[in-house]
Amino acid sequence: MTTGAPSPPRSREEIILRLFDLFRRAGYEGVSIGEISHATGLGKSSLYHHFPGGKADMAAAVVAFAKAWMEARILAPLRAAIPLADRVDLMLAAISELYDGGAAPCLVASMLLSRGRDPIDADVGALICDWIDALARALRHSGISPNEAVERATSAIITIEGALIVARAAERLDIFGDAIDRARRTLIA
């Protein structure tokens, strides 16, 4: 059975959500304007109406969306005035949701692996750097030394992001779930 084109989006935000899913699954270089048109349900002229700079504008909008999502769901909870274990649990729940328990790919990995070096790469990479910084700051505020905080934060994110790739490659979501548990133990030990 073949599926037709999706219904046209009702808002720019809905377009960006569709682009987010497309870019994180195929990367920047992995999709053509034709594929973007099909996934969004918009003709090429409508796409250029919303994104005059073409695919580069679309990628910038997706990164801005990811940054806002991360601020609301990851960074803000890490700054909350609640116990460290609760902050970590909120962060890990959001990450598990974002990655659909290990079934959905990482936007950062997909975008960085499929592009050359250009200004949007710094914005994409900053998502991970901001995450490490916020997590290390939460650990420091809980009494962990600055060096140890950075080491734990970095190790936890490497564990999560690495497990995401391995779980998807091995088609074993339990690998991702185990990594989430291991990251939690690293962070609140």
Tell me what pLDDT residue 1 has: 40
Q: pLDDT tens, 124-165?
A: 888 999 999 999 999 999 999 999 999 999 999 999 999 999
Confidence class for position 174, pLDDT limits 50, 70, 90: very high
Query: Please, are residues 6 and 39 in contact by the beta-carbon 8 Å criterion?
Result: yes
Q: Which residue has the higher pLDDT, 28 or 77?
A: 77
- We find that the CATH architecture of domain 62-188 is Orthogonal Bundle (1.10)
Residue 108 predicted with pLDDT over 70? yes
Q: Helix axis angle, 55-70 relative to 12-26, nearest 10°?
A: 100
Q: Of 75, 73, 99, which Cα lies nearest the Cα of 153?
A: 75
Where do the structural domains in the chain lie, given as residue ranges?
62-188
Q: pLDDT tens, 29-52?
A: 888 899 999 999 999 999 999 999
Other C-beta atoms closer than 10 Å to the C-beta of 50 total: 16
